[in-house]
Amino acid sequence: MSQDQFSAHRHSDETLSLRPERTAVLTVDMLNDFCIDGGAMVLPGGERLYGPQNAVNAAAREVGSAVVFLIDSHRPNMRRERELQKRTPHCTEGSWGAQVVDALDQKDGDIKVLKRRYSGFFNTDLDLTLKDMQIDTLIVMGVVTNICVRSTVHDAFFLGYQVIVPEDCVAATGPREQVSSLYDIATHFGWVSNSAEVIAALRDEGVIRNKEIPA
């Protein structure tokens, strides 16, 4: 399928150079409620992300990039919880469902940010934390591509960050939503790559090339 006429108006230079000390990896909502049998809203196939995500986070730690886990966490007894007006109750604060899955490696130096909306930036201290660390480039991974990942990518772009999404480190609610979201991210908000290229660029301060996503 050919690219839509509007989105075809883009820069020809689609590369981004990574500087590890200015880069952070955001892992979005890899939580028991979304990933583990018995969770409130399990995304089928989410377990395939564990290996690539662990590899990216390990490479980030090796070269001194920040590793951040974004954690959906909803306080009980809220009268008007916007996210829960649309979705089944999930990720209650302090519960098993709101914990990062055991399959993902976590280290003492990792940063955890709680969020109560789809975006990791909305009314959290994520932006302030990244700015204090002089971060300007984000690698965003997690679930789900077309909701929380995408919302976080949008806000990161609006706030001036360069954003990379490794396609094998994110999963959507379905194939259509995955392709559509990655297409829009690559076309309008950032770069789409894969875990192997991101790891190589982190270790060698190399270049990320934007993937061509079919329209």
The token duo for 65 is 């990039």
The token duo for 18 is 């990574």
Active site residue: 29, 72, 110, 127, which one?
Answer: 29
Instruction: Specify whether 169 is catalytic.
Output: no
Burial class from Cβ neighbours inside 10 Å (0-12, 13-18, 19+) for residue 214 reads: exposed
Instruction: Specify whether 35 is catalytic.
Output: no
Active site residue: 35, 91, 148, 169, which one?
Answer: 148
β-pairing, 207-209 vs 15-17, is antiparallel
Q: Which residues contact 154 (CB under 8 A, 6 or more apart)?
A: 119, 189
**What per-residue string of b and e applies to 113-130 under the rule 16 or more CB within 10 Å gives b?**
bbbbbbbbbeebebbeeb
Alpha helices in 79-207 (DSSP H): 82-86, 126-132, 150-158, 175-184, 195-204
Task: Write the CA distances from 64 to 44, 61, 75, 207, integer angstroms.
Answer: 33, 5, 33, 17
Q: Quick check: bond before 144 cis, omega within 30?
A: yes
Active site residue: 110, 115, 169, 211, which one?
Answer: 115
Instruction: Specify whether 115 is catalytic.
Output: yes
Provide the annotated active-site residues: 29, 115, 148
